[in-house]
Amino acid sequence: MPLVAASIVPHSPLLLPTVGKDYAQQTRRTKRAMASVAYDLYARQPDCLIILHPHGRPVDETLGANVSESFNVDFKSFGDFVTNAHWPGALALASAIKERAEDHGFPLKFRHEPTVSYDVGVPLTLLAGHLPKVAVLPICPSTHDLQTHIHFGRLLAEVLHHSKQRVAVIASAELSQHVSAAAPSGIRPEGESFDKAITRGLGKKRWEHVLTGIDQTVVELAESCGYRALLILAGVLMKRNFHTHKLAYEHPFGIGFLTVIFNDA
């Protein structure tokens, strides 16, 4: 079964009503956009959800897949002692990806962490709350070169094309950490340049060229945690005709929050 849904979402815990209730007005556009993504996912009823996320401890040049029979979220470190949800793991899909990766010489390692990091947990909580049976596969980029991540995305697309399951792919990716003076680490001109390059390049037929065409000094100084997750997603979408719907872009804390849905043309 081909890919049934794809999107980009931010993952700040402040988007959770249990954590960021004092910041509801500042994040209202993003939260409305996230609700639209959740509705779109529910309408498409995927069997599996791949989450491309940046904070999964990449080891050198090795991409990582978190494989577990089940996953749970935990936001206690953010003061949320209420949220408690579980989803099954996508073991069969993980095995198929691992086999194809080994056939093509891609460095992919499995790890086992049933409690997911917040960059997986926030999208799961906000997008898959009404999909308790959707199987989850978190995949983390590596420190490898840009083209490897794009090629890995193409490999994922091939696996999904031959899968009997309905699969959605979500890039849990925030943009620059330095867009405005409100940023915890301060403003940098490269922050705005990076975010403009990403948002203006959305919808281009060769989106992967937009991403790799950004000056790497700008990429480095912008400090976007999600850049390589976006490269993988670009590879997934590379041979598909799709419409790009930018639902929201804002930077309430000086960090770029982008929410996008990609639909088949």
pLDDT digits (tens, 9 = 90+) for 120-174: 999 999 999 999 999 999 999 988 889 999 999 999 999 999 999 999 999 999 9
Q: How far apart are CA 152 and CA 107, in angstroms?
A: 10
Q: What is the pTM of this model?
A: 0.95
Domain residue ranges in the chain: 3-264
Average pLDDT of span 227-240: 93
- Specify the DSSP element, H or E, that contains 124: helix 118-127
Which segments of 33-77 are extended strands (E)? 48-52, 63-66, 70-72
Q: Answer whether residue 265 shows pLDDT above 60.
A: no
Q: What is 3-264's CATH number, 3.40.50.10190, 3.30.565.10, 3.40.50.620, 3.40.830.10?
A: 3.40.830.10
Tokens of 189: 């001109």
Angle at which helix 91-103 crosses helix 146-162, to 10 degrees, equals: 120
The predicted structure's pLDDT at residue 58: 53
